[in-house]
Structure 1
């Protein structure tokens, strides 16, 4: 369908700018044209319409009655066209990025920090996929991820270390009423344990063995296959859970959890940025990896 009659778009743009400024000179400055070019564009529009749009006074422009009616419609249409154009350009410029991580990383570390990345990169559309088993993820399913690894990454993935590992027992402030326990005494408490054979995370038995107690008998155990659930149980005073430093720092700062023992352990594991090795890394993934590294770098003293 042909839409007619329509005047040339530059004529409408010049008219709208002159109307807003009440001056050909100021309209010309906004549009980076000469005053005579703006005057000529408006005159062409008036010839097209067969109506005068402005009363030209020595120091100002005043809209005629026809000019007032026309200005309202033209401005609305030009603003709508500009907004629609901006929306289309934004959609075109957006880049999708799929970020994979475990539930613990998602809840405890990533989501509290994610606003800073989105603010710095509004053009990147993020999609978070939560999978507690990195080994079960295909490299085709994500662009970059953050996972705890004790050994090297699974085949087909590259990795960069972000944090080392420090693991220590934590509990609600009221659970031990301010006391801390020796490792041997912890075995007599209710211990909250991650029950997921696919993960490389340290178990209570491994942690106690690291403290010289390989044969410790656990008196009471409550298990879950979701680490955030174990932390919530600990916050509610249901027992003692192993805490990974960096993951639980915020809980300690806010007083939701406290150390239940001064002892800690490490098996050489840590948190890593991981990404498909045999695929060209998108610019958005490189930007996200750089952001992860900055987030993991302690601020200068």
Structure 2
């Protein structure tokens, strides 16, 4: 009978690594130990279990039936331990990491995350991104807050961009409904931003209660996907649909961009130890956002003149 204390975790990890890589040699290289050490770990495990875990077939090995069952049972647990340990050590070594927090999940998913690779390609910093709708508390750990609806009083801040709204739809839907009065258009709404549809309607001199609202989604990134699929027209911050407008999967129903009255801000956490790194990130983000908007405006203008 297997005794829990008879089996060191290193032996189990060695076993799982062999299962992942298929040979003792590659497992030894992955673990940074000798092949003989890997063999000793397997021998320890097999002795404790009283069963064979591998069949040796010349230069190759294969899991036995019992070995395969054991591998399936423990591989995910070992992977979880390894990942948790790696994340803990990375968290301790915070000098080369920047934790960015945002209260805007759709903005993070569609705008910030796709741009992070470009930032990390030019910077030694690794960026960790977390989302939270709650106001930050003094004990919360983060370096930079990107937000539209929150604030950190008495902290260094950067005005990134003023929000502008556009009405977009899939090309076939636009072609079908463009000649109709706007209050007859099938519209998409989001529970996370109920304000933007009303703001757009008022600017268009349309009573919001006359709008024909069909599909409703929790977040704007879901509504964008629905608009691409032709579910209806969507009023969204221009920043969130830049790539779709550039690709032509969504088009604007008209050239009008309507100010929502909101502004995107970046705040430095006054408790951060990454002051200069945070400033560099905020400066880079502000420049990238404004460049993206300007480039799209130029591209759309060129397309209309052709």
The residue aligned with 1:97 is 98
1:174 corresponds, among 160, 168, 172, to 172
Q: Are 1:226 and 2:219 counterparts? A: yes
Distance 1:156 1:281 in 2: 17
2:155 and 2:269 in contact (8 A); partners too: yes
Q: Are 1:283 and 2:276 counterparts? A: yes
The residue aligned with 1:126 is 127
The residue aligned with 2:251 is 258
2:162 corresponds, among 157, 161, 164, to 164
RMSD: 3.0
1:181 and 1:260 in contact (8 A); partners too: no
Distance 1:98 1:295 in 2: 19
Bigger CA radius of gyration: 1
Q: Classify 1:98/1:216 alpha carbon distance in 2 versus 1 (closer, same or farther; 3 Å).
A: same
Q: Classify 1:142/1:178 alpha carbon distance in 2 versus 1 (closer, same or farther; 3 Å).
A: farther
SS state of the match for residue 165, structure 1? strand
The residue aligned with 1:142 is 142
2:196 and 2:236 in contact (8 A); partners too: no
1:156 and 1:278 in contact (8 A); partners too: no
The residue aligned with 1:59 is none
Distance 2:225 2:148 in 1: 20
Q: Are 1:195 and 2:191 counterparts? A: yes
Residue by residue, what CA displacement relative to the aligned partner does 1:61-99 show, whole Å, maximum 9, x if unpaired? xxxxxxxxxxxxxxxxxxxxxxxxxxx9xx968522111
2:207 corresponds, among 202, 210, 214, to 214
Q: Classify 1:186/1:97 alpha carbon distance in 2 versus 1 (closer, same or farther; 3 Å).
A: same
What is the deviation of 1:236? Answer: 0.3
Consecutive unaligned residues in structure 2, runs of 5 or more: 1-88, 299-306
What is the deviation of 1:181? Answer: 5.5
Q: Classify 1:93/1:203 alpha carbon distance in 2 versus 1 (closer, same or farther; 3 Å).
A: closer
Distance 2:141 2:195 in 1: 27
Could you tell me the TM-score, scaled by structure 2's length? 0.57
What is the deviation of 1:153? Answer: 2.4
1:148 and 1:269 in contact (8 A); partners too: yes
SS state of the match for residue 98, structure 2? strand
1:187 and 1:216 in contact (8 A); partners too: no
The residue aligned with 2:228 is 235
SS state of the match for residue 99, structure 1? strand
Q: How many residues align?
A: 202
1:94 and 1:125 in contact (8 A); partners too: no
What is the deviation of 1:285? Answer: 1.4
Higher helix share: 2
Q: Classify 1:188/1:154 alpha carbon distance in 2 versus 1 (closer, same or farther; 3 Å).
A: farther
Residue by residue, what CA displacement relative to the aligned partner does 1:82-119 show, whole Å, maximum 9, x if unpaired? xxxxxx9xx96852211122222222211221111111
Q: Classify 1:180/1:189 alpha carbon distance in 2 versus 1 (closer, same or farther; 3 Å).
A: closer
